[in-house]
Amino acid sequence: MHRYKHCILFLFLGLLQLNAFAQAQKLRVEPAFWWAGMKDPSLQLMLHGANISALTPVIKHEGVILKDVVKVKSPNYLFLTLDMSKAKPGKFALQLKQGNKTVHRYTYEVKQREPNSANRQGFNTSDVIYLITPDRFANGDTKNDNVKGMTEQINRYDKSGRHGGDIAGIIQHLDYIKDMGFTALWINPLLENNQTKTSYHGYSTTDYYQVDPRFGSNEQYVELSKLAKQQGIKLVMDMILNHIGSEHWWMKDLPTDDWLNYQHTYKETNHRREAIQDPYAAAYDRDLFNDGWFVPSMPDLNQRNGLLATYLIQNTLWWIEYADLGGIRMDTYSYPDPAFMSEWTRRVMEEYPNFNVVGEEWSLNPAIVAYWQRGKQNPNGYTSYLPSLMDFPIQAALTTALRDDESGWDTGWLHLYNVLATDFLYADPQNLVVFPDNHDMDRIYTQLNQDAALTKLALAYILTTRGIPQIYYGTEILMHNDQPGDHGIIRTDFQGGWPGDKVNAFTGQGLTKEQLDMQQFTKRLLNWRKTSGAVHQGKLTHYAPYKGVYVYFREQGDEKVMVILNKNEKPYELELAKFAPQLKSIKQGTDVLTGQTYNLGQPKVSLPPKAPLILELK
């Protein structure tokens, strides 16, 4: 019996030692792999493991040279800089040694890039982007609703909780997205967001290299990209470089004392974005805007830290290459360090010259938005490389124009006309992303007081004006939010995306007559837009609105489109004489929405009440 106890004790101690050894061998390496032939030959690896700063890294692989090793305050990090200019595809051992003893061994892979990867085409004016909040679109795999290790569990009855939508649900409905006529897909953040509450929205990243397992896996995200591409749909990734989630793994072991802004004392941003361009702004206000936190659960990253800056840039390039992305939407673009954002976009566009990145700068002032676009000559000398921005000024002007009456000389459509007239401020207004609404604001149908006719006018404008249109999921079926400003309701579940839903928007089952009509209207307009080079790239000429009617033309070569937006409650007789420079000898136009032909050889044309006409001119 005594001997038996000794054996048990010996076995127990042995297991403890094995477990301790296994724990000691844990090594995180980011990025986990890389590619040969990237334009920038330098690669920084972040290594994290217990007390690894005391170890010596050893790398032996053809064409890979270890140029620099950086130790930081935390003993659990090493930052390696590799010269990859002559690297050959293949695997090699990354070793961390203590003398002659190998403490850690990691198999690193240098992959071969896909053919023509550097010349990938980003989203452009020929595209229409469909915006999806993944937790609320479709639950394609109920097995990942709750995942061990993820703190927040599914609760579909909680408007701010997780509802179970996932990547599988999007994959299962790619046919619907394609048939509707969308050609690009912007999905709200899919990366791990292991926060204790309201984690569904994805904007509090806790791991930059892992898809949240409640959405799926990295491999499933790549599969989505591949299948979408086969359907002619580009994948746009939603990224956040300004802040992380308070449960990010860094927060348990920050590498340096300056990894975060206000790392030791919480300070909230003032949201005064104007301070960046304001020639009279106090430095205090500029610094607080960039360095302050959104909320205590979103630590603000200090991109002036060179190691962190390189980490974030490489993470972006990794996702573009790994997931074959067709674009990026960058959250809160103006909030991070401006010099870093300039370098970030420069590096991305240098690596992928035909790519596209759209930044979020939520200002209604076109001058503030224009400041950030590539090619803009700014008085303070700031140089940006950002190709595109979200056109918040047009969105606000559109909804104001549609809600306002036409009784005054500067009311109604004039709000929209006047904002579009400021396009001279932009270096490239054609590359702005225009939209009726998004995930952070009331649904367009709600903004327009649940008026379906006005909603059609809004969509007709967004899909025919200059720029790249973006439509939020559910707009096509008149989704609305009865409680204005409530994000949990704005991002409500898409009907038919969950087993047992009585209404199925994917098939049309159970939709109201008005919803079906809007869905068909959107589908016709989107699929026609695919064929119209004039709308994609044509010159835009608009006429000052008059008596509730706004008219503009899109022209490219012999192709001409005349858009007439009539807000009047009754039919309106539109005099055609002033449009002679565009109409010339054209005698008729066919409405792309109804197929009806209109005689343009007469002095007037009768407009249907409160409706758009989109005429192909012949």
Q: CA 555, 561, 562, 563 torsion: positive or negative?
A: negative
Residues labelled catalytic = 331, 360
Q: 359 and 393 in one domain?
A: yes
Domain ends where: 534, 567, 599? 534
Domain ends where: 113, 146, 178? 113
Query: Any idea what the CATH number is for the domain that residue 264 is in?
Result: 3.20.20.80
Position 9 scores a pLDDT of: 42
Position 19 scores a pLDDT of: 41
Query: Any idea what the CATH number is for the domain that residue 553 is in?
Result: 2.60.40.1180
Q: 341 and 236 in one domain?
A: yes
Q: Report how far residue 166's alpha carbon sits from residue 359's, in angstroms, rounded to the nearest whole number.
A: 25
**Whole-number average pLDDT of the chain:** 95
Answer whether 57's CB lies under 8 Å from 93's CB: no
- Mean pLDDT on 506-513: 98
Q: 479 and 560 in one domain?
A: no
Q: Is the pLDDT of residue 408 over 90?
A: no
Looking at the domain assignment, is residue 607 inside a domain?
yes
Position 12 scores a pLDDT of: 42
Total H helices, total E strands in the chain: 16, 26
* CB atoms inside a 10 Å sphere around CB 315: 18
pLDDT band at 339 (very low <50, low <70, confident <90, very high): very high
pLDDT tens digit sequence for 533-542: 999 999 999 9
pLDDT tens digit sequence for 254-272: 999 999 999 999 999 999 9
Residue with tokens 């791991």: 207
Q: What angle do CA 124, 126, 131 make, to 5 degrees?
A: 70
Q: Report how far residue 13's alpha carbon sits from residue 472's, in angstroms, rounded to the nearest whole number.
A: 59
Element (H, E) at 597: strand 597-599
Q: Which of 168, 95, 112 is nearest to 137 (CA)?
A: 168
Q: 516 and 561 in one domain?
A: no
Looking at the domain assignment, is residue 515 inside a domain?
yes
**Which two three-digit tokens encode residue 356?**
């596209």
Q: Report how far residue 465's alpha carbon sits from residue 471's, in angstroms, rounded to the nearest whole number.
A: 14
Q: Is the pLDDT of residue 14 over 60?
A: no
Q: Report how far residue 166's alpha carbon sits from residue 140's, in angstroms, rounded to the nearest whole number.
A: 6
Q: What percent of the chain has pLDDT over 70?
A: 96
Element (H, E) at 545: strand 539-546
Q: 530 and 548 in one domain?
A: no
**Which two three-digit tokens encode residue 174?**
């790619």
Domain ends where: 513, 534, 555? 534
**Which two three-digit tokens encode residue 603?**
């002095």
Looking at the domain assignment, is residue 123 inside a domain?
no
Answer whether 555's CB lies under 8 Å from 538's CB: yes
Evaluate if pTM is beyond 0.85.
yes
DSSP class of 153: P
- Mean pLDDT on 447-458: 98
The count of residues in the chain is: 618
Looking at the domain assignment, is residue 118 inside a domain?
no
Position 6 scores a pLDDT of: 47
Q: Report how far residue 62's alpha carbon sits from residue 40's, in angstroms, rounded to the nearest whole number.
A: 18
**Which two three-digit tokens encode residue 532?**
């119209």
Looking at the domain assignment, is residue 122 inside a domain?
no
Least confident window among 15-24, 42-51, 232-241, 505-514: 15-24
Answer whether 207's CB lies under 8 Å from 153's CB: no
For the chain, how many structural domains are there in total?
3
Q: 569 and 519 in one domain?
A: no
Q: Which of 31, 57, 55, 35 is nearest to 45 (CA)?
A: 31
pLDDT tens digit sequence for 268-320: 999 999 999 999 999 999 999 999 999 999 999 999 999 999 999 999 999 99
Q: 181 and 38 in one domain?
A: no
Q: 305 and 293 in one domain?
A: yes
DSSP calls for 454-471:
HHHHHHHHHTTSSSEEEE
Q: Is the pLDDT of residue 16 over 80?
A: no
Query: Any idea what the CATH number is for the domain that residue 64 is in?
Result: 2.60.40.10
pLDDT tens digit sequence for 367-402: 999 999 999 999 999 999 999 999 999 999 999 999
Q: Report how far residue 522's alpha carbon sits from residue 150's, in angstroms, rounded to the nearest whole number.
A: 38
Looking at the domain assignment, is residue 301 inside a domain?
yes
Looking at the domain assignment, is residue 555 inside a domain?
yes
- Close Cβ partners of 157 (under 8 Å, ≥ 6 residues apart): none
pLDDT tens digit sequence for 216-235: 999 999 999 999 999 999 99
Q: 93 and 82 in one domain?
A: yes
pLDDT band at 509 (very low <50, low <70, confident <90, very high): very high
Q: 387 and 295 in one domain?
A: yes
pLDDT tens digit sequence for 157-173: 999 999 999 999 999 99
Q: Which of 187, 214, 219 is nearest to 203 (CA)?
A: 187
Q: 311 and 223 in one domain?
A: yes
Q: Is the pLDDT of residue 154 over 60?
A: yes
- Mean pLDDT on 544-568: 97
Position 20 scores a pLDDT of: 38
Looking at the domain assignment, is residue 583 inside a domain?
yes
Domain of 272, in residue numbers: 128-534
Cis peptide before 31 (omega within 30 of 0): yes
- 317-353 as b/e: b if 16+ CB within 10 A: bbbbbbbbbbbbbbbbbbbbbbebbbbbbbbbbebbe
The SS3 call for residue 141 is: coil
- Give CA torsion, residues 157, 483, 398, 556, to 10 deg: 10
Q: 139 and 101 in one domain?
A: no
**Which two three-digit tokens encode residue 340?**
């870093």
Q: What percent of the chain has pLDDT over 90?
A: 94
Answer whether 73's CB lies under 8 Å from 116's CB: no
